[in-house]
Structure 1
Amino acid sequence: MTRIFGAESTTDDVLDGIELRGKRILVTGVSAGIGVETARALVAHGAAVVGAARDLAKAERATEAVRAAAAESGGSLELVELDLASLESVRACADALVWDGRRFDIIIANAGVMACPQGKTTDGFETQFGTNHLGHFVLVNRIASLLEPGGRLVNLSSAGHRFADVDLDDPNFEHTPYAEFVAYGRSKTANILFAVEFDRRHRDRGIRATAVHPGAIRTELGRHMDPAVIEAMIASINETQKANGLPPFAYKTIPQGAATSVWAAIVAPAGEVGAHYCEDCQVAAIQDGDGLRGGVRPYALDPEHAKALWAKSEEMVGERF
């Protein structure tokens, strides 16, 4: 019988009884938050996890519990350096993984930044679009040949994709006034569209791609956010929730936040999640109304829009895949 999971499910709930020995999984962003918890849950069930992080010393400190879980289960954790805000670093990481030659069953593109002040990556891209989307775009495509048939790509997106569609005419805010959450929304929409097009290109090999919203969680991802802005946003969400007869906003724990990532990567039927957006361990419904809770905007799943973003991304990074 298929088990049903939801918003309160944790990584341990989702992976209960599942054996992952022999599975090799790449997780980006293993120096904090749900990246660390995702890695811990996977190695606790016997997986060999390759964890990528910009700051390896920080990742070493943050993953003590991951290594402890690996020692008990027979799983393993290997750390690799990856700065998604530098294409030189991204390409060096990808090249090293390809040279190593060991294959992956799953890639979980977890790392990212949120609502940060206006800035540029090393290569001159707007920070959030460059880090959250373009860095992963280059990394995943460069190592796509390592994905086993039947493998999966899970891109971490966000309900924040509802703030904005991608702007293919002005991705770097060169002609548009910068707004932190508009930039974040663009990058999170890009994460979904990337999954849609990657899925189309690789499904003939049995490889599927999906995007997930982990939920609202108190982690260092929100370090740039003004508490007053957060309070106003929650008030707006609650107003919408109440008007629709829905429960008020609630933060998730980190194990609850990481649950949808591992559910989409391992537990959910591939055909159900491929080219879709998931939240609360379910495939999300298309929802075009106001508010920030629940559902996915239609523009984020549009196949032609996904193809256009792919072409624009190749143009920006100077590389064809």
Structure 2
Amino acid sequence: MTWSTADIPDLTGRRALVTGATSGLGYETAKVLLEHGAEVLVAARNPEKTADAVQRLKQATGKQPVRVELDLADLSSVERAATHVANSYDSLDILVNNAGVMATPYRQTIDGFELQLGTNHLGHFALTGRLMPLLQSGRVVTVSSFMHKSARGIAEADLRQQASGYSKWPQYSKSKLANLLFMFELGRRVPSVLSVGAHPGYASTHLQAAGPELAGQKLQAKVWAGINLFAQSAAAGAWPSLYAATRPDLHQGAYVGPSFFEYRGKPAIVRPTRTAQDPELAQSLWAWSVEATGIDPALAVAS
């Protein structure tokens, strides 16, 4: 495939919100969307880092992004952020659910859910639901990972996984499986919205080192930093997200990843696991997520 960011159409007049856009894939995604004329809302947890990212994006593109304070590990913060956006704008064309945590030590969200599933899945589930009235016929890009392939399933108990028996990598894989199950089910329940997925392959970002840093494992964080020298750049890692967010001819449920063994390279349509495409499991996860967050994106679309 010869696709490059130069193939992205003019996005003037279109509005996009990108979560986790202070660095890495999210920053690069926001930057390219700005360069192609979109109005971009930068949604992230840390106010100082968000302000810095907004300034850097403005310097790099000459365009002024909009800052939105959002902590996906706090459902009340998700509600406040969505309310702020809804009070400020009457529509949203693109939502890129990009932010996430990876292989963290055992932690809980503010609302008592296991941190990885609570942040990577439930936070984005609630955000998408609360923004659904603005999206209407827009596009939702859910960023997953090839790590979803090691997850054999997911149960309601995983959302409230306790410290006893917790294993950080299997739990991360389940959160990425949840991302894809949600992506497919959103497309089935709200067909007016184009629901697609993406994964970056192996890209050099701070995500891999964040978990060890949180656990105080400085040596392991340095090891990850060294391994990242062999990864593709964050800019290249953002290509699948950008392709998924802007390609005019994508079908419902399209999943985009790097073309070279899903590791690196230009974006291409790739295949998720059968488990990720299991409609019964997706329906169950949707029901658990509605109960956990108190919002149903399928019902919110017409509200």
Same topology, TM > 0.5: yes
Please show how residues 93-108 of structure 1 align to structure 2 within 5 Å: 93-108=81-96
Q: Out of 269, 276, 288, which is 1:300 matched to?
A: 276
**For residue 262 of structure 2, what is the aligned residue in structure 1?**
none
Amino acid at match of 1:163: S
| 1:65 shift after superposition | 3.4
In structure 2, the CA distance between the partners of 1:60 and 1:163, relative to structure 1 (3 Å rule), is: same
In structure 2, the CA distance between the partners of 1:229 and 1:168, relative to structure 1 (3 Å rule), is: farther
**For residue 34 of structure 1, what is the aligned residue in structure 2?**
25
* CA deviation map 1:48-75 (0-9, x unaligned): 001101012112213433112442xxx4
Amino acid at match of 1:154: V
* CA deviation map 1:182-229 (0-9, x unaligned): 1101111111111111111221x2x21111111212211112243698
Q: Out of 99, 106, 112, which is 1:111 matched to?
A: 99
**For residue 58 of structure 1, what is the aligned residue in structure 2?**
49
SS of match in other structure, 2:13? coil
Please show how residues 41-80 of structure 1 align to structure 2 within 5 Å: 41-71=32-62, 75-80=63-68
* CA deviation map 1:229-260 (0-9, x unaligned): 869x99xxxxxxxxxxxxxx951111100010
Amino acid at match of 1:216: Y
Please show how residues 133-152 of structure 1 align to structure 2 within 5 Å: 133-149=121-137, 151-152=138-139
**For residue 221 of structure 1, what is the aligned residue in structure 2?**
207
SS of match in other structure, 1:107? strand
In structure 2, the CA distance between the partners of 1:179 and 1:230, relative to structure 1 (3 Å rule), is: farther
Flag as ranges the 4+ runs of structure 1 deviating above 4 A: 227-231
Q: Does the CA contact (< 8 Å) of 1:276 and 1:301 recur in 2?
A: no
Q: Does the CA contact (< 8 Å) of 1:129 and 1:186 recur in 2?
A: yes
In structure 2, the CA distance between the partners of 1:200 and 1:57, relative to structure 1 (3 Å rule), is: same
In structure 2, the CA distance between the partners of 1:129 and 1:266, relative to structure 1 (3 Å rule), is: same
Name the CA distance, whole Å, in 1 between partners of 2:118 and 2:132.
20
| 1:170 shift after superposition | 3.5
SS of match in other structure, 2:43? strand
Name the CA distance, whole Å, in 1 between partners of 2:91 and 2:248.
21
Q: Out of 169, 175, 198, which is 2:186 matched to?
A: 198
Alignment of 1:277 onto 2:255: yes
* CA deviation map 1:268-290 (0-9, x unaligned): 5232xx223221121113xxxxx
In structure 2, the CA distance between the partners of 1:315 and 1:176, relative to structure 1 (3 Å rule), is: farther
Name the CA distance, whole Å, in 1 between partners of 2:248 and 2:169.
30
Task: State the TM-score, normalizing by the size of structure 2.
Answer: 0.85
In structure 2, the CA distance between the partners of 1:17 and 1:130, relative to structure 1 (3 Å rule), is: closer
Name the CA distance, whole Å, in 1 between partners of 2:224 and 2:289.
31
**For residue 22 of structure 1, what is the aligned residue in structure 2?**
13
In structure 2, the CA distance between the partners of 1:267 and 1:122, relative to structure 1 (3 Å rule), is: same
In structure 2, the CA distance between the partners of 1:174 and 1:30, relative to structure 1 (3 Å rule), is: same
In structure 2, the CA distance between the partners of 1:175 and 1:251, relative to structure 1 (3 Å rule), is: closer
Task: State the TM-score, normalizing by the size of structure 1.
Answer: 0.81
Unmatched tracts of structure 2, length 5 or more: 213-219, 259-266, 298-303
**For residue 168 of structure 1, what is the aligned residue in structure 2?**
156
Q: Does the CA contact (< 8 Å) of 1:37 and 1:254 recur in 2?
A: yes
Name the CA distance, whole Å, in 1 between partners of 2:236 and 2:90.
30
Please show how residues 237-276 of structure 1 align to structure 2 within 5 Å: 251-267=231-247, 269-271=249-251, 274-276=252-254
Name the CA distance, whole Å, in 1 between partners of 2:196 and 2:281.
16
> What percent identity do the matched residue pairs reach?
37
In structure 2, the CA distance between the partners of 1:314 and 1:262, relative to structure 1 (3 Å rule), is: same
Q: Does the CA contact (< 8 Å) of 1:217 and 1:254 recur in 2?
A: yes
> CA RMSD of the aligned region, Å?
2.3
Q: Greater shift after overlay, 165-174 or 306-315? A: 165-174
Amino acid at match of 1:113: V
* CA deviation map 1:91-134 (0-9, x unaligned): 11111112223311110011110000001000000000000000
Unmatched tracts of structure 1, length 5 or more: 235-248, 286-295
